[in-house]
Amino acid sequence: MEESTSKTLRYTKRWFAYFDLMGFSNLVRQHEIEHVLPIYEGVLKTIAQKAESMKGISYSWFSDTFILFTKGSSEKDFALIERVSRLFFQKLIISKIPVRGSLTIGPLYTQKQKNIFLGEALIDAYEYGEKQEWLGFILTPSVYEHLKDSSLHLERRAFYRKVDLPGVITHPKPDNVYAFAFNNGSINGRNIYLDPLSDMRHKAGIKYKKKYDNTELFITSQRDFGSNPSLTA
């Protein structure tokens, strides 16, 4: 999935997703590399499987940060990267790997072969990605604005809810942020994400208590979890 080696300027409007593994630095400090590497390799395998299954999606990573991006800014491009990003996030949570992420749209310059990524899209995704007090995957206000007059309006998307819990989004502009609703599966009436979150909470310690509280409150405050667990929808 290498990009063209053409010297033409690749600064164009794109969809861009940013993910970071929470607590990864502490994991590296506190454990032998033999313990950390299988986790890291599992994440890389997951993002490769999700991204490479669909043409038009590129990905890269450095340390505990993983990115996905499209070639263009069409609604079709959004549909592709939204699905890949959501499935990536779902798989990590179910696998008990704490992560948070964001998807945005904006100008982006890329030279993938040199691992160079610059532009407003990266900044926006990073800022919203880092300013979340929970384990969540959000669509930034730029996504809302871009799609508000289209058939893909976020208010009509089944897997997303507007974030209205106070203190979850700490970005200076928290309005019109939508998040993956953790609503695509239950077992015996219990949301499939609650048990993995509980296990991660136990290992994370008191430092991350608020983040897990916010995540679980967001999940349990919705009425319908869905009847069938699915990580492929």
pLDDT in tens, 92-141: 999 888 999 999 999 999 887 787 899 999 999 999 999 999 999 999 99
**How long a stretch of residues is the chain?**
233
What confidence tier does 227 reach under pLDDT thresholds 50, 70, 90? very low
DSSP SS3 for 21: strand
What are the chain's domains? 11-220 (3.30.70.1230)
Got the DSSP string for 26-80?
A: HHHHHS-HHHHHHHHHHHHHHHHHHHHTSTTEEEEEETTEEEEEESS-SHHHHHH
pLDDT in tens, 187-221: 888 999 999 999 999 988 898 999 999 999 999 99
Tell me: pLDDT of 7 over 60. no
- Strands of 130-172 (E only): list them: 137-139, 160-162
Tell me: pLDDT of 168 over 90. yes
Cα–Cα distance between 134 and 85 in angstroms, integer?
A: 17
Specify the pTM. Answer: 0.87
**What is the C-alpha radius of gyration for the chain, rounded to an integer number of angstroms?**
17
Residue type, 16: F
Tell me: pLDDT of 230 over 70. no
